[in-house]
Structure 1
Amino acid sequence: MTQKTTSIPGQFRWSFLLPQYWGIWIVICLLMLLAILPWSIQHRLASALGRFAFKSLKSRRKTTLRNLELCFPEWDTEYRYQQAEQVFIDMMIGVFETLNAWYRPQWFKQRVSIEGLEHIQQAQAAGHGVLLLGTHSSMLDAGGYICAQYFDPDVVYRPQNNPLFDMLIYRCRATIYANQIDHDDMRGLIRHLKNGHAIWYSPDQDFGLKQGVMAPFFGVAAATLTAHRRLLKISKAVAIPLYFYRYGDIKDPRYKILIQAPVTPLPSEDELSDAIRVNQIIESQLRIAPTQYMWFHRRFKTRPEGYEKLY
């Protein structure tokens, strides 16, 4: 019987030098070159690439438009289309911001402000871990980097399918996050919370109803994760909403970290009530900068019997 081998996250393999990975190495080199470009060129490239992606990725465009239609019914058709295109542009801008966070972090100097840091500090001083309730923002790891200027965040991550990309991303994130916790490592996640760590966690995507309930999101029933209730109950951690976003002139952007007071009581005795509260928190965050969210994911894909299909 052969023993199963497990790879160590971020570990280099000699197999990465085989021809099957050469194309990826070229892409990696290209990304590193893009990271050293002036911001004036980066944001122009991002705008052009975002518009191209919006026109080319028809399925993602359709999903984005449908999500915005469901969540912002007050927007007229023309404005909704403009905002959908901006979602793709902001996604590409977020890619360049991530590259800057990985390879040129000094670019963010004097561009970041924070509000509510005392909520994390007080919770940790009282011996509690902190589960930071956030969203899948298009700022990607740039948001993690700007948070790391003020406190030591951990992150829950999902390994990439391609092992070379997974190694690259893991190593780059290691310069930002204190710890990276595999999404399947629940014991590790609980251990870090019990040890007083602050962990970024995003319960804002549709993973079905095995670990969730149907709860309103922007007034539309959506499969909503409830796993964080168990994490909080077992670890005695505190749930604190965190949101980071870009604002101001895109030619000279600024970044804001918004940390709100702990959500109490969470968990309560009512699973549905907790899901509704968390969704309301996420809604309020997204209304600050709507196009900086990954609306191209099918947030309402789970439709149990009795619920109308939306896509």
Structure 2
Amino acid sequence: MSKTPKYQPGEFQWSFLLPQYWGIWIGIVFLMILAILPWTLQHRLASALGNLAFKYLKSRRKTAIRNLELCFPEWTNDQVQANTRQVFIDQMIGIFETLNAWYSPEWFKGRVSIQGLEHLQNAQAGGQGVLLIGLHSTLLDAGGYLCAQYFDPDIVYRPQNNPLLDMLIYRCRASIYAHQIDHDDMRGLVRHLKNGRAIWYSPDQDFGLKQGVMAPFFGVPAATVTAHRRLLKMSKAVAIPLYFYRHGDIRNPQYSVLLQPALDNMPSDNELQDAIRINQFFEQHLRIAPTQYMWFHRRFKTRPEGYDKIYK
């Protein structure tokens, strides 16, 4: 029996030319055209698409509304609705920003600034790797491009189910990230950290409690990933909180990257306290630009016995 050949990430396969993939090729050409449109037109299209997504993606809308109700109880119902709509618009804007980062990166020239770069440089100068603890921002890979203007980041990624999409995204990301590390490749992650690399890692979603604990997120108990503690222990790397966001006039947006000091005593001998610390940084960052986060994910879906259900 012949074995199915294994392909390296980003490797072209002749099967990608079969008719079943033609729709994706056409879509990619369309996206490349969108990437060269003027920003004002990109923003108008993103706003229109975001409003459509808010209207028709009912399940995602309900999830985002519930998340914002819980995390920002000081908001009125009208504020929750308006900010939920903006979450969908920001997600669509983020898609255009990512297309610009992939196909038209010169658009970002003169729009990017950074704070706290010395924290990363000091760690690497001392021979340590850096685990950049970040969020699932609506900026998507545009955020990685912002960082790449000042330092050389790697990324942890999940392969796409569609092999053609996986190849195309991998190749586009190769222009931003020096290394793309499969989320299941723990040895690769540790090796790159031991080699002094800076790796963007986002432990902000609900993946259950096999590698996590219940820790408060905006005061609501949430399954919080703690796998990064093991990475830090094995690699002797440091953890540095990372945040990037868009601000200013939307007609001429600016982008900021924020790096905070390396976390002392991370990991500690208390898994829960470490999770609480990380979530507190996430809360601090999310209050800067609340709608530039993927609130349509079920952040509170894991509810062990004794915890009330969040989503109906």
TM range (shorter): over 0.9
Using the alignment, how far apart are the partners of 2:6 and 2:198 within structure 1?
A: 27
Q: Which residue of 1 aligns with 2:170?
A: 170
**Secondary structure of the residue that 2:203 maps to in structure 1?**
coil
User: C-alpha deviations, 1:46-76, integer Å up to 9, x for none?
Assistant: 0000000000100000000000001001100
List aligned pairs for 1:277-296, cutoff 5 A: 277-296=277-296
**Secondary structure of the residue that 1:181 maps to in structure 2?**
strand
Using the alignment, how far apart are the partners of 1:66 and 1:117 within structure 2?
A: 36
Q: Which residue of 1 aligns with 2:129?
A: 129
Q: Which residue of 2 aligns with 1:191?
A: 191
Give 2:256's aligned amino acid.
K
Q: Which residue of 2 aligns with 1:45?
A: 45
User: TM-score if structure 2 supplies the norm length?
Assistant: 0.99
Deviation, 1:198, is: 0.2
List aligned pairs for 1:225-236, cutoff 5 A: 225-236=225-236
Using the alignment, how far apart are the partners of 1:3 and 1:41 within structure 2?
A: 49
User: C-alpha deviations, 1:60-93, integer Å up to 9, x for none?
Assistant: 0000000000100110000110000000000000
Q: Which residue of 1 aligns with 2:304?
A: 304
Q: Which residue of 2 aligns with 1:249?
A: 249
**Secondary structure of the residue that 1:261 maps to in structure 2?**
coil
Q: Which residue of 2 aligns with 1:57?
A: 57
Give 1:216's aligned amino acid.
P
Q: In the alignment, is residue 34 of structure 1 matched against residue 45 of structure 2? A: no
Using the alignment, how far apart are the partners of 1:43 and 1:165 within structure 2?
A: 25
Give 1:7's aligned amino acid.
Y
Give 1:288's aligned amino acid.
I
Deviation, 1:7, is: 1.7
Using the alignment, how far apart are the partners of 1:51 and 1:249 within structure 2?
A: 20
Identity within the alignment, %: 75
User: TM-score if structure 1 supplies the norm length?
Assistant: 0.99
User: C-alpha deviations, 1:207-245, integer Å up to 9, x for none?
Assistant: 000000000000000000000000001100000001000
Q: Which residue of 1 aligns with 2:139?
A: 139
Using the alignment, how far apart are the partners of 1:61 and 1:230 within structure 2?
A: 35
Using the alignment, how far apart are the partners of 2:242 and 2:275 within structure 1?
A: 17
**Secondary structure of the residue that 1:290 maps to in structure 2?**
coil
Using the alignment, how far apart are the partners of 2:285 and 2:142 within structure 1?
A: 17
Q: Which residue of 2 aligns with 1:97?
A: 97
**Secondary structure of the residue that 2:244 maps to in structure 1?**
strand
Q: Which residue of 2 aligns with 1:24?
A: 24
Q: In the alignment, is residue 263 of structure 1 matched against residue 234 of structure 2? A: no
Deviation, 1:3, is: 3.3
Using the alignment, how far apart are the partners of 2:287 and 2:160 within structure 1?
A: 30
User: C-alpha deviations, 1:121-155, integer Å up to 9, x for none?
Assistant: 00000110000000000000101001001000000
Q: Which residue of 1 aligns with 2:108?
A: 108
Using the alignment, how far apart are the partners of 1:304 and 1:53 within structure 2?
A: 31
Deviation, 1:4, is: 4.7
Q: What is the RMSD of the two structures over their aligned residues, measured on CA atoms?
A: 0.7
**Secondary structure of the residue that 1:282 maps to in structure 2?**
helix
Unaligned runs of 5+ in 1: none
Using the alignment, how far apart are the partners of 2:285 and 2:201 within structure 1?
A: 14
Q: In the alignment, is residue 213 of structure 1 matched against residue 207 of structure 2? A: no
Using the alignment, how far apart are the partners of 1:261 and 1:3 within structure 2?
A: 49
Using the alignment, how far apart are the partners of 1:5 and 1:87 within structure 2?
A: 42
Deviation, 1:2, is: 3.9
